[in-house]
């Protein structure tokens, strides 16, 4: 059948509920035929040479799946049960390969860990944590009950109570 011409079948001879489905099926087969003719006009090697390995595998799987799916449809149109035919196992095998390719693509597209950057983040976090811990230890070593603010209101430095008393005693002598 030529891809540019409509089917010669007269669907009006069939009941209306079947004729609509048959027309849709015929249109879809025409579309598939057009796509396959476009694919077959270019030599397979020319297409393969322009593709990456993963795309080559996807193209081959698509071709194998298409051919086996069309054979499945052919078996259905002849009244045979394709579920009892070896084509079912072949389609399942092709689907498993498609799933493996999808896993490979997902791994390739997954975010990668930048080891150098992560080392810098960890080092910085540990450095900050160590200084924070040292500051807290320093604050805890200075007892809050012995700390008083100096008498100079502009000064924000803290001095120990014993330091102030010691200076006062020296002044009195």
Q: What pLDDT is recorded for position 113?
A: 81
For 53-90, b/e burial (b = at least 16 CB within 10 A) is eeeebbeebeebbeebeeebeebeeeeeebeeeebeeb
Instruction: Tell me the two tokens of residue 40.
Output: 């077959």
Q: Is the pLDDT of residue 23 over 80?
A: yes
Phi-psi region of 14 (alpha: psi -120 to 50; beta: other; left: phi over 0): beta
Instruction: Tell me the two tokens of residue 143.
Output: 């007892």
| Most confident of the following: 11-20, 27-36, 130-139 | 27-36
Q: Is the pLDDT of residue 49 over 80?
A: yes
Name the pLDDT band for 99 (thresholds 50, 70, 90): very high
pTM for this entry: 0.54
Element (H, E) at 160: strand 158-160
Q: Is the pLDDT of residue 3 over 50?
A: no
Name the pLDDT band for 166 (thresholds 50, 70, 90): low
């Amino acid at each position: 059948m030529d891809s540019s011409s409509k089917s010669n079948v007269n669907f009006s001879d069939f009941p209306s509920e079947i004729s609509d489905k048959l027309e849709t099926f015929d249109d879809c087969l025409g579309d598939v035929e057009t796509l396959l003719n476009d694919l077959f006009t270019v030599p397979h090697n020319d297409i393969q040479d322009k593709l990456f390995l993963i795309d080559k595998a996807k193209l081959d799987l698509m071709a194998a799946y298409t051919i086996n799916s069309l054979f499945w449809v052919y078996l259905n149109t002849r009244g045979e049960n394709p579920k009892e035919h070896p084509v079912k196992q072949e389609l399942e095998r092709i689907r498993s390969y498609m799933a493996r390719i999808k896993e490979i693509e997902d791994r390739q597209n997954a975010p990668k860990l930048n080891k150098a950057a992560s080392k810098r983040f960890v080092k910085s976090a540990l450095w900050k944590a160590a200084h924070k811990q040292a500051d807290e230890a320093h604050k805890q070593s200075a007892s809050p009950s012995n700390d008083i603010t100096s008498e100079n209101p502009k000064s924000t430095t803290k001095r120990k109570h014993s330091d102030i008393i010691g200076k006062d005693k020296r002044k009195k002598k």
